[in-house]
Structure 1
Amino acid sequence: MATRLNPYISFAGDARQAVEFYQEVFGGTLTLSTYGDVSPEQAGAVADKVMHSMLETDGGLTLMCADNPPGTEHKPGNDVAVSLSGEDAGELRGYWDKLSSGGAVAVPLEKQMWGDVFGMCTDRFGVTWMVNISERG
């Protein structure tokens, strides 16, 4: 297997809802383990929280998500963004429509000065997404 780079997003308790939403957006196979699955005797109040999840699509997209580990601070903010880019305008516009629905659009998906169609939004879970549709041939 080749080395891959993919985002890993931490959540403050709603990782399951978020990764299931992303599966609705992108399709693919979702594997998910809870703290209770890994250590039932120690999980306690976080037994049903996501310790690790991985969403893999047939198109090669990979996204990992988890609830913040117990005893650690969750710091949501603008330090993580996920970038989707390519030439398939229909596919990328479909992702944009779903991701921006219920969220906030910072940059509308439209032609930019560098020649591509680009948009940036924050989805309903607070994750920033950048979509770039290449217009170069």
Structure 2
Amino acid sequence: MSINTVTHINLRGDARAALEFYQSVFGGDLVAITYQDARSVTNPEEADQIIWGQVTSDDGFQIMAFDVPSSRAWSQGNEAFFVSIRGKDTAEITSYWERLSAHGTVVAPLAPAGWAPLYGMLTDQFGVTWVLDVAAEYAA
């Protein structure tokens, strides 16, 4: 038996744009089911918003998102979670960094760190904080 962890982000009206953006960065397949598709419309103005969406790439990247309906309390929060992307290839991590940081805010520049050959933190245009690094072997 195995499980995996998938980051699930909760947005208000931006889930489709966020999923499309992450697909443009990481590639893969995007599934977006609207409240209308699920026959779960409570507010007609939100019928085309996402009740469940996901991007899954062949490289193993996976993220889910949905639009919290206006009938429920929601706050974007302040660094409620980080999404961590770890890899072994500097060029690949750098490529993800460049695309994710577009229209975002760099918290810690992508650079060598004491625990990793390359590490950086940014908050993207949707308020999601990402940590990217090149994994290093840890000495006991």
What is the match of residue 103 of structure 2? 102
Q: Which runs of 4+ in 1 moved over 3 A?
A: 40-43
2 CA distance for matches of 1:68 and 1:41? 12
Q: Is the 8 A contact 2:41 2:47 kept in 1?
A: no
Query: How many Å apart are 1:60 and its aligned residue?
Result: 1.2
RMSD: 1.7
2 CA distance for matches of 1:126 and 1:89? 25
Is there any run of 5+ residues in structure 1 with no aligned partner, and where? none
Query: How many Å apart are 1:24 and its aligned residue?
Result: 0.2
Is there any run of 5+ residues in structure 2 with no aligned partner, and where? none
Identity over the aligned pairs, expressed in percent? Answer: 36
What is the match of residue 19 of structure 2? 19
Once the two structures are superposed, residues 48-90 of structure 1 have per-residue CA deviations (whole angstroms, 9 ceiling, x without a partner) of 0000001110011110011113411221121111000011111
What is the match of residue 6 of structure 1? 6
> Is 1:64 equivalent to 2:59 in the alignment?
no
Query: How many Å apart are 1:2 and its aligned residue?
Result: 3.3
Q: Is the 8 A contact 1:116 1:136 kept in 2?
A: no
Query: How many Å apart are 1:131 and its aligned residue?
Result: 0.2
Query: Which residues of 2 match residues 23-62 of structure 1 at below 5 A?
Result: 23-39=23-39, 42-62=42-62
What is the match of residue 94 of structure 2? 93
* One-letter code aligned to 1:55: V
The structure with more helix, counted as a fraction of residues? 1
Q: Is the 8 A contact 2:12 2:69 kept in 1?
A: no
